[in-house]
Structure 1
Amino acid sequence: AAAVGTSAARHDRRAGGPGLLDALGWALDATLVLGGAVVVWVVCRRGRTENRLDRRLDKTLVRWLPLGALVLLALVLLYAGWSRPGWRSEGRLPGDATFGGIALVQGVLILGLAVVAHLLYRTSPDSRTAIRGFGGPAVAMLSCALGGVMTGGGAQRVSDWLDGSDGSIDGPALVLTWQASVIPPLLVVVAVLCGWFGFRTVQRKRREMDRMAADYPDERKDSTRTRRIAGTRARAALTDRAPLLVGIISAVTLLLGAAALTGAWVTDEVPAKAAGGLPDTVEGAAQASQALGSWLIGFGFILFVTWGRRAYKDPSARRTIGILWDVGTFWPRAAHPFAPPCYAERAVPDLTWRMASWTRATSATGGRLVLSGHSQGSVLAAAAAWQLRPSVRRRVALLTYGSPLERLYGRWFPAHFGPAALTSLHREVDCWRNLYRTTDPIGGPIQLHGDCGPQVDRAALKDPLAYGRTEEHPLPAPILGHGDYQADPAFAEERARLLARLKASVPPPRPEPTPSAAAQGAPEAEGFTPAPADPPGTAG
């Protein structure tokens, strides 16, 4: 509505414009400003608290916003379609000041966020924190850049299609054109980084091949098998280098975004004759960069749609998207107001209630419980254990495997899953054991340091379980990576050890008084029954 209405209103405000259309233009512009202010107010007001449910806003204003926007768009189309003799399209579409202002404000906010993040990191520095505390600003920079290049590249691509082969139109706002132009150099930086990480991965693969003899002694070596195992380990280690990749790309994106904003402002100030006097090589490079950027954005959009379509047919792609979805929707709506509702707000209280109920059901569980969590389930397990009462928490043991608690959550969200939080959880539960593999790209060790009880991490599990064929493994053992931790004998061993520890540390439950004892007037507190014969189950 703003793109269509402002162009027509600007024409009507010229000298000699019709009075009625001029008044309608001012009225529509005021309505657009008011509607934008209302939308910003609604967004800022939503999700600011997790303790109060605001139903009045949902039932009134928010539900009318989409209909109001459509009505406003229809009115603007009627206004812009009114007959204006002698008016023809020329020049660029409006929006240089608007898009430039948005980009400038985003850059200033991200720089402010970076300053705050640096100050917070200095109060509690930790070498494992992603990008030395700049993880939040870096991801915010990439998010703003993605929105900018999608807008600029998409507008540039559509303007090329509308241009045809007979004429030449200026197309979208100058800022969007510059944003599309910085995509090729950014992709060059990404390609160089990917090449560097690929080189380091090959080096790590060679080192892992040398270590294979120590991991599988007395085995007849097979070069193909060795390369496959070493390659899986080397690729899994790329997860630990992702913060460096994100940090470098974010910094380069900030610099290129500032260059695009400056270039749009300078180009707008340069007269047309001066701009036409640029060297042919410079002008050709600029046009090639713009065209390549717009085509790459169109290709990226098709790639996004194709990947979403592939998720319906390919289990591997569906699993990858599911992991990203789980991580994003784990946090409350205050962290992502436009995303789907937070499933942890339902899963964690339900899991907490079940744990408390099972520890009270002494006849079935003996008052003890092992909480088993894999991958994102280990994050839910930790969140649920934090919600328990201390008396209940002491009857619960944690068994995590393939857990991203420290490797991903602890590094990117140190305030909630950093060393201090995980150490306190280790001290408060009865015991905690963690299983991981060097071939797992997601899960990793917890790496708790200091005097906080028994060691959490077990030594890295072998993957595959057997190098060659054995009596226990007549077929070649598969490389499991992130899945099937229960297939490893270490899982059953650690679970049995946790159950035995709980059985020894938890006092036996108080039974109901026997009829004879009740008849003799024995007090209830005097009676005990043996622990249940059946071993308690594992909640996973």
Structure 2
Amino acid sequence: PYQNPGAPALGRPGFWYGRRIVARLRAAHTAAGLLTVAAAVAVPVARRDAAAGTAVLESAGWALEALLVAGAAAVAWVVCRRGRTEARADHRLDRAATTLLPGAALALLTAVLVYACWSRPGWTSSGRLPGDFAFGLLMLGQGCCIVALAAVARSLYRRAPDPATALRGLGGPAVAVLACALGGVMSGGVAGRFADWLGDEAPAEPPVLLAWQAAVLPPVLLALACLAVLHAARAARTRRRIAAGVAAEYPGSVPDGDRSRRIAGARTAAALTDSAPRFAAALSGITLVLGAGALAGAWLTGQVPGEAAHGAHPLLEAAARAAQDAGSWLVGLGFLLFVTWGRRAYRDPAARRTVGVLWDVGTFWPRAAHPFAPPCYAERAVPDLTWRMTAWTGRTGGRLVISGHSQGSVLAAAAVWQLPPHVRHRVALLTYGSPLRRLYGRWFPAYFGSGPLLSLHRDVDCWRNLWRATDPIGGPVVPEAGPAVDRGPLPDPVAYGRTEQQPLPAPVLGHFDYQDDPAFAAERDALLARLSGPRPLPDDRCGADGAPPGAAPAAASGTGAGAGLPAPRLSRERAEPGDPPGTAG
């Protein structure tokens, strides 16, 4: 990659070369998990041995606790000292961190299990499972981190405000709240089922905090249902308003109420994407408040909700017990629904497409935060695409058209940012159904905000983007440049009723099949014609129709096939002297 310290964030040399740091972080997280289990087993046993006064077992307990503290310090040192760098590609091997650390943690866990299984006559388990204070401390720490993250995000937004940014810079903290809540719910469900399993042999109950977390789940779901009803009512009004003017957009068409409502419904459903930030803000705010209430209730009362409400008003006591019981069952039901939805993705194409969209977005970013996440496919696709573009333009002296649909447009932009400037000027972009600005720019403004995308538009030879109002994912990418980049919204369907060109009712295509739209063929032919002419001057930008003159005998197209959204596949073809314009690629 081009060594340019002033390049955009995605153009930094080490951005897509983080596999070594992922290996180190994976080892550190694995060791931390093993040490956590070891500590949960060793600490209660060591406290009992210290109280019993057994010299040998007490000494072994103190030694194991000391080793656990040393292991925790080693994990913290690896995470903090050997972090991620984007200034250079990370090719350093670190076998001490990747091999010795998890191996030592596993050996320590084995020693702890042997120590805990040692015979202790007269010692039986009773009461609640340990970890109530640890769960509360973890939840409090997560809340404090989220508040600090919100303060930092708000400060960064004030320095460089962008109206298109989701929740005025608070999108990251809002998602973090929901992620922590989901993790807490899943942990509570596992602990509850484990307590039930242990209860067959000895009385055991989950920690109090987990019971409070389960009790606040029904109110959260009720608030979620109210938000869904509110958005549905608003969408119904919007659909009726749009349907009244759909026929007028197709001159000479005979109005058809059913056809207009179907088109208006597609546009309304696509527009719901733009309301996702408000939905996430409301849900995360409710979750944060109720989560704080659950933590306070658990620490102040020391009892589960049903017991804490004992003696209060009968309705309040009944509501607390009902919320606790319903939340416990909802946790298990939610896990089953999660597994069922995953299985459905293998049988239902629509569900598989939805899961594929989420999977492609989730696996685009490098695993800098969570090393157990699925592998980042962009760490393979972006460098490969970058090197192929650089090598081909250097060998042939030609220029390229990179065509990318949906997630493929994101990969194409990321690869172009990694190019040296002299190669970047020889590349033209044709994107369609692109989430670059609508989704990525809104949630990741530092990487795909208005500034980076406008800079990319100025750096490449030409950029044309197609979008539809019925597309829930794609949209304009550089609205500041006007029609010089974005062409849309394209008519969808292409015809309102039956015509000689469309003897059957044209379908609503939404996010897919842009290649079937006449506008795609027109823009593609214009870009290829631009390539077939003399090379343009540096200030010769492509205009609204995408057809100013250009140069060079090469083109490349990128579509692709991921789990849901397409990823670029580079192909190239060189025009021979005497070929008609537009035959390259």
Band of TM-score, shorter chain: 0.7 to 0.9
- SS of residue in 2 equivalent to 1:48: coil
More displaced stretch, 461-470 vs 216-225: 216-225
- Aligned residue type for 2:523: E
In the alignment, which residue of structure 2 is the partner of 1:427?
458
TM-score, normalised to structure 2, is 0.80
Determine if the alignment matches structure 1 residue 300 to structure 2 residue 337: no
1:4 alignment partner AA: V
Q: 1 or 2 for the larger relative contact order (CA 8 Å, sep ≥6)?
A: 2
The CA distance in 1 between the partners of 2:408 and 2:419, in whole Å, is 17
| Alpha-carbon distance in structure 2 between the residues aligned to 1:61 and 1:283 | 53
Q: Distance in 2 between matches of 1:312 and 1:60?
A: 41
Distance 1:530 1:29, change over 3 A: closer
1:377 aligns with 2:408: yes
Q: Which one of the candidate residues 159, 181, 201 is aligned to 2:195?
A: 159
Q: Alignment length, in residue pairs?
A: 511
Is the contact made by 1:368 and 1:536 (CA closer than 8 Å) also made in structure 2?
no
Aligned-partner Cα distance in 2 for 1:225–1:381: 36
* Larger deviation, residues 228-237 vs 64-73: 64-73
CA distances 1:5-31 after superposition (whole Å, capped 9, x unpaired): 3333333232x4433233333333333
**1:241 match:** 275
Corresponding position of 1:524: none
Task: Give the Cα separation in 1 of the matches to 2:497 and 2:184.
Answer: 52
What is the CA–CA distance in structure 1 between the aligned matches of 2:66 and 2:131, rounded to whole Å? Answer: 17
How far did 1:467 drift? 2.4
After TM superposition, list the pairs within 5 Å mapping 1:3-42 onto structure 2: 3-14=40-51, 16-42=52-78
1:480 matches 2:536: no
SS of residue in 2 equivalent to 1:337? coil
Give the 3-state SS of the residue equivalent to 1:182 in structure 2: helix
For residues 294-323 of structure 1, the C-alpha deviation after alignment (integer angstroms, 9 at most, x for no partner) is: 211111111222222222333332322222
Alignment partner of 1:490 out of 519, 533, 536: 519
- Taking the aligned partners of 1:261 and 1:181, their CA distance within structure 2 comes to 11
1:308-362 CA-to-partner distances (Å, cap 9, x unmatched) read 2222333332322222222222222325433234322332222223323444565
Closer, same or farther: CA 75–282 of 1 in aligned 2, 3 Å: farther
1:173 aligns with one of 207, 210, 235 = 207
1:189 paired residue among 223, 240, 248: 223
Partners of 1:505 and 1:150 lie apart in 2 by 62
- Structure 1 window deviating more from structure 2 (126-135 vs 494-503): it is 494-503
**Corresponding position: 1:325 with 2:359:** yes
Name 2:486's counterpart in structure 1: 457
Tell me the SS of whatever aligns to 1:128: coil
Deviates more, 1:210-219 or 1:272-281: 272-281
Match of 1:402 in 2: 433
After superposition, the C-alpha distances for 1:493-514 in whole angstroms (9 at most, x for unaligned) are: 011122233444516679xxxx
1:219 aligns with 2:253: yes
Match of 1:533 in 2: 579
Segments of structure 1 that go 5 or more residues without pairing to the other structure are 511-528
TM-score (ref. length: structure 1): 0.86
Task: Pick closer, same or farther for the CA change 1:284–1:457 going to 2, 3 Å.
Answer: same
Partner Cα separation in structure 1 for residue 190 and residue 80 of structure 2: 28
| Cα separation, partners in 2 of 1:497 and 1:286, compared to 1, 3 Å | same
Structure 2 residue aligned with 1:76, among 102, 112, 115?
A: 112
Tell me what 2:572 maps to: none
Sequence identity (%): 61
Would you say the 8 A contact 2:189–2:328 is kept in 1?
yes
Which of 512, 518, 528 does residue 499 from structure 1 map onto? 528
Shift of 1:481: 1.0
Q: Secondary structure at the match of 1:175?
A: helix
SS of alignment partner, residue 338 of structure 1: coil
Pairwise CA RMSD of aligned residues? 2.9
Q: How far apart, in 1, do the equivalents of 2:337 and 2:105 lie?
A: 30
**Structure 1 residues 52 and 350 mapped into 2: Cα distance closer, same or farther (>3 Å)?**
closer
Structure ID, larger Rg:
1
**8 Å Cα contact 1:435-1:457 kept in structure 2:** yes
**Is the contact between residue 156 and residue 180 of structure 1 (CA under 8 Å) also seen in structure 2?**
no
8 Å CA contact 2:167, 2:281 repeated in 1: yes
Q: 1:319 to 1:44 in 2, by over 3 A?
A: farther
Residues 278-303 of structure 1 show CA distances to partners (whole Å, capped at 9, x for unaligned) of: 44443332232222112111111112
Give the Cα–Cα distance (whole angstroms) in 1 for the partners of residues 159 and 300 of structure 2: 41
* CA distance in structure 2 between the partners assigned to 1:377 and 1:216 by the alignment: 31
Q: Is the 8 A contact 2:470 2:492 kept in 1?
A: yes
- What's the counterpart of residue 343 of structure 1? 377
User: Residues 150 and 509 of structure 1: is their aligned pair in 2 closer, same or farther, counting only changes over 3 Å?
Assistant: closer
Letter in structure 2 aligned against 1:122: R
Cα pair distance change 1:297/1:275, threshold 3 Å: closer
State the shift of 1:193 in Å.
0.8
The answer to whether the aligner puts 1:448 opposite 2:515 as a matched pair is no
Identify the range of structure 1 (47-56 vs 150-159) with the bigger mean alpha-carbon deviation: 47-56
- AA paired with 2:39? A
The answer on whether the counterparts of 1:5 and 1:29 sit within 8 Å (CA) in structure 2 is yes
Cα deviation digits, residues 359-404 of structure 1 (max 9, x gap): 4565xxx823221110011111112222233333333221110000
1:435, CA displacement in angstroms? 0.5
Of residues 225, 249, 252, the one that matches 2:286 is 252
Give 3-state SS (helix, strand or coil) of 1:141's partner. helix
